[in-house]
Structure 1
Amino acid sequence: MVEPASSHIREYTEADADATLAIFTAAVMETAAADYSPEQLWVWARPGERDRTGWHGAMSGRDSFVAVAGAKVVGFSDVSSSGFIDMLFVDPAWGGRGVARALLAEAEGRARATGAGELAADVSITARPVFERLGFEAERPQEVVRDGVALTNFRMRKTL
Structure 2
Amino acid sequence: MSPDTPVTSSATALLCPAAILMIRLRPYRPDDGPRLLHLFRDTIRRVNIRDYPASQITAWASDEIDASAWCRRFEDRFVVVAEDSSEPPRVAGFAELEPDGHIDRVYVSADHQRQGVGRAMLQAILAEAERQGLERLFVEASLTALPFFESLGFSTIARQTVECRGERLVNVRMEWLRSETL
Scaled by the length of structure 1, the TM-score of the pair is 0.92
Contact 2:77–2:99 (CA<8 Å) still a contact in 1? no
Q: Does 1:17 align with 2:17?
A: no
Query: 7-16 vs 149-158, which deviates more?
Result: 7-16
Contact 1:80 1:111 in 2 (8 A): no
Deviates more, 1:50-59 or 1:73-82: 50-59
2:162 is the counterpart of 1:147: no
* TM-score, normalised relative to structure 2: 0.81
Q: Which residue of 2 aligns with 1:57?
A: 72
Is 1:133 the counterpart of 2:138 in the alignment?
A: no
Which segments of 5 or more consecutive residues in structure 1 lack a partner in the other structure? none
Consecutive unaligned residues in structure 2, runs of 5 or more: 1-6, 10-20
Higher relative contact order (CA 8 A, sep 6+): 1
The aligned runs of 1:1-160 (5 Å cut-off) are 3=8, 6-46=22-62, 48-70=63-85, 71-160=89-178
Contact 2:154 2:175 in 1 (8 A): yes
Render the CA deviation track for 1:102-133: whole Å, top value 9, x for unaligned: 11111111111111101110000000000001
Greater mean deviation of Cα atoms: 144-153 or 83-92: 144-153
Fraction of identical pairs, as percent: 30
Q: CA deviation at 1:94?
A: 0.2
User: What CA RMSD, in Å, does the superposition of the two structures yield over aligned residues?
Assistant: 1.6
CA distance in 2: counterparts of 1:147 and 1:6, whole angstroms = 37
Question: Shift of residue 27 of structure 1?
Answer: 1.1
1:11-57 deviation per Cα after TM superposition (whole angstroms, max 9, x unaligned): 111221122111100111110001101111111111x2234422321
2:169 aligned partner, one-letter code: L
